[in-house]
Structure 1
Amino acid sequence: MVGTELVGWLLDSDPALRWQVERDIAGEPPEVWEATRARIATEGFGARLLSHQDPDGQWAGGAYFPAGYDPAREPGQPWTATTWSLTTLREWGMDAAVLRERRTAELLAEHARWEYDDLPYWGGEVDCCINAWTVANGLWLGADVGGIADWFAEHQLDDGGWNCAWVDGARRSSVHSTLNSLKGLLAHEIATGGTEATRAARRAGEEYLLVRGLFRRLSTGEPIAPWVGRFAYPFRWCYDVLNAAEYFREASAHDGVAPEPRLAEAIGLIRDARQPDGTWVQGDRHAGRVWFEVDVPAGERSKWLTLSGTRVLSWWDES
């Protein structure tokens, strides 16, 4: 059970967050949270991010990086370009019709090219994480991204996961790349049913994480790194057990199955991070240029993390 004071604190938030609290924690009927969700395009974070879209359909003049970005002169990865902006709007729950009315998919097909090899935007490129966001965003906007979904089955490594550095010779998977790839495959399966190959790829990728309990090395049983238990919103491309547990919560709902028992220890880490007042505290946020801030500084109570942590524990405990 979630206390009324905590629910009230969470509800006092931007529509992009509030509608999820109404649906997933407060238990409001669809007519309530759907009305809040519809406000994302006209109020707060969603409206602000929409206002930065360029006439050619892009954000910041670039596909993955802003136009003119020079990593030697700018610390941290910028989060303002097209892929990050689309992914953020989709994850916040914006109605795709808003962007379809702007002909976003068609404009990106005409004007956006990947920084890698100048490849066409909706065809994807060689990075697993980029392709995962592109397949999910493309399905959301109605673009033809079926070829990218097939790409994941073709580029899965022998251990069952993925690694964005495969093109440089990596043969062992990365938890970051694997989680993001799984999110793309799940989005594809929810939207289309998937194919035999993509469904099998998703199962194998899930097993890659589950056999490690989401955070332990298969070779030694030791934690992969300290950051697996440190949570920061926005998650960006970065792996942690809360981000991974959110994926398995969504996959469980889609598959109609109970939580996988091998998640138990990772769920314990999430539970241990909960503060006495029921909140989760912001960790060290991922550095880089943003259009505007959407959460609190490190060390303060985060409504976004509290939403995620609360619904993950509720899903687990109720099962």
Structure 2
Amino acid sequence: MTAKVPVEWLLDSDPALRWQVERDLLDLPEPTWAATRARVGTEGFGARLLALQGLDGQWAGGAFFPAGYDFTTAETAGQPWTATTWSLSSLREWGVDASALAGTAERLAAHARWEYDDLPYWGGEVDCCINSWTLSNGLWLGADVDGIVDWFLEHRMDDGGWNCEWVVGSTRSSFHSTLNTLKGLLDYEQATGDRQRVREARLAGQEYLLARSLFRRRTTAEPVAAWALRFAYPFRWYYSVLNAADYFRSASLHDGTPPDPRMGEAVELVRAARRDDGTWEQERRHPGEVWFEVDAPAGEASRWLTLIGARVLRWWDGSADGLPNGAG
């Protein structure tokens, strides 16, 4: 399927994206894509974002929101994406080596506090999505985030997933919260090799989404909402079938298991969204302040979504052909 992907267009991009094209679509030798990945901390998006870090280890002076943020503006201006958690998550997802942030874990332990109850940064807070990103970022930077794993195991819903709104009484899982939690638990397994501790919970969370075909209500089989079928990069906290399918690709490769056939309908929705030129469209930009844009405006071809969509289909189709790691 790589013949249908505009590879040269994808390669003409920031190192943060290019190294993933080299690894996930072109199967280039590890020394090749690793050399490109090493440039992320010194060139382009990664270097620009690293340069914006404050002396206290934070970005924009805050943990999840910028210092002094006026919360009354959120409904009209959208959530800002400039504070520490968002910035760290971007750098990690782009492939920046943790050595580029030497001392950051310690500085955040000393200076960063959550907006919720002034809780210490690496201890997490009450929001599943926030705690997932903190778990992943802490594992990456070498912080002590072990307590967050316990928190997730204690806050599973009876239906197998998670919901950030448990704190206001919700007892049913959320697509958004469950997917974001699963990413953190998978990162924990990959970083520590400890499957015993979180594997059961992770598989139960996956089952929550798979039983719903990644986008349907279990009670009525109707699509859960339009947002599940809307593709935009960066993903942020938003759920989509593309975001979920990319997670399941990572989990499948980690577990050494084939794709679950219950994903089939969702994968075909991803395939149907591919345009005739082999690209996927940026359908919207999530509102809110950013340091700088990293992808196309709404309505234009997105390099990031094209990378992600292409590797999902490559994994799915390659597994159907019996090829290793979804190669084809």
- Class of the TM-score when normalised by the shorter of the 2 chains: over 0.9
Instruction: Tell me which residue corresponds to 1:76.
Output: 78
1:298 aligns with 2:307: no
Shift of 1:12: 0.1
In the alignment, is the contact (CA less than 8 A) between 2:246 and 2:308 conserved in 1? yes
1:162 aligns with 2:162: yes
Are 2:135 and 1:135 equivalent residues in the alignment?
A: yes
Contact 1:215 1:223 in 2 (8 A): yes
Secondary structure class of the residue paired with 1:316: helix
Deviation of 1:31 after TM superposition, in Å, equals 1.3
Alignment of 1:52-71 (within 5 A): 52-71=52-71
What is the CA–CA distance in structure 1 between the aligned matches of 2:181 and 2:36, rounded to whole Å? 30
Aligned mates of 1:4, 1:43 — CA distance in 2: 29
Q: CA offset at residue 53 of structure 1?
A: 0.1
Q: Which residue of 1 aligns with 2:190?
A: 190
Between the aligned partners of 1:212 and 1:314, the Cα distance in structure 2 is 23
Match of 2:98 in 1: 96
Structure 2 distance, partners of 1:249, 1:134, is: 22
Question: Contact 2:63–2:115 at 8 Å: present in 1 too?
Answer: yes
Question: How far apart, in 1, do the equivalents of 2:109 and 2:18 lie?
Answer: 33
Verify the 8 A CA contact 1:113 1:121 in the aligned structure 2: yes
Instruction: Encode CA deviations 1:194-235: one digit per residue, 9 max, x unaligned.
Output: 353421110110000000000000000000011211100000
SS of the equivalent of 1:73 reads helix
Deviations 1:86-114, CA, capped at 9 Å, x for gaps = 000000011111112xx000000000000
- TM-score after normalising by structure 2: 0.95
TM-score by structure 1 length? 0.98
**Residue aligning to 2:258:** 258
Q: CA deviation at 1:193?
A: 2.5
Q: Which residue of 1 aligns with 2:152?
A: 152
- Return the offset for 1:72: 1.5
**TM-superposed deviation, 1:4:** 7.8
Q: Which aligned pairs between 1:273-312 and structure 2 lie closer than 5 A?
A: 273-312=273-312
Alignment RMSD (CA, Å): 1.0
Q: Is the 8 A contact 1:37 1:93 kept in 2?
A: yes
C-alpha contact 1:46 1:89 (8 A) present in aligned 2? yes
Q: Distance in 1 between matches of 2:290 and 2:276?
A: 31
Q: Secondary structure at the match of 1:41?
A: coil
CA distance in 1, matches of 2:94, 2:195: 27
Per-residue CA deviations over 1:222-252 (Å, capped at 9, x if unaligned) read 0001121110000000000000001000000
Distance 1:151 1:210 in 2: 24
Q: How many Å apart are 1:311 and its aligned residue?
A: 0.2
Task: Look up the equivalent residue of 1:277 and give its one-letter code.
Answer: D
Structure 1 pair 85–147 and aligned structure 2 pair: CA distance change class (3 A): same
Gaps of 5+ in 1: none
Please tell me whether the aligned partners of residues 230 and 283 of structure 2 are also in contact (alpha carbons under 8 angstroms). yes
1:237–1:226 distance in 2 versus 1, CA, 3 Å:
same
- Aligned-residue sequence identity (percent) comes to 69
Q: Is the 8 A contact 1:136 1:188 kept in 2?
A: yes
Q: Distance in 1 between matches of 2:290 and 2:2?
A: 32
Contact persistence 1:105–1:142 (CA under 8 A): yes
Question: Quick check: 1:26 aligned with 2:26?
Answer: yes
Matched, 1:172 2:172: yes
Q: Which amino acid aligns with 1:25?
A: L
C-alpha contact (below 8 Å) 1:150/1:198 kept by paired residues: no
2-structure distance, mates of 1:87, 1:5: 27
Q: Aligned with 1:69: secondary structure?
A: coil
Displacement of 1:73: 3.1
Letter aligned with residue 165 of structure 1: E
Structure 2, unaligned runs of 5 or more? 320-328
Contact kept? 1:66, 1:81, Cα under 8 Å: yes
Paired residues of 2:213 and 2:265 also in contact (CA < 8 A): yes
- Read off the aligned partner of 2:259 and give its amino acid letter: P
Q: How does 1:14-53 map to 2 (within 5 A)?
A: 14-53=14-53
Number of paired residues?
A: 317
Correspondence 1:121 to 2:125: no
Preserved contact between residue 214 and residue 263 of structure 2 (Cα < 8 Å): yes
Q: 1:122-151 CA deviation, whole Å, 9 max, x = no partner? A: 000000000000000000000011110111
Give the drift of 1:278: 0.7
CA distance in 1, matches of 2:203, 2:4: 38
Contact 1:20-1:33 at 8 Å conserved across structures: yes
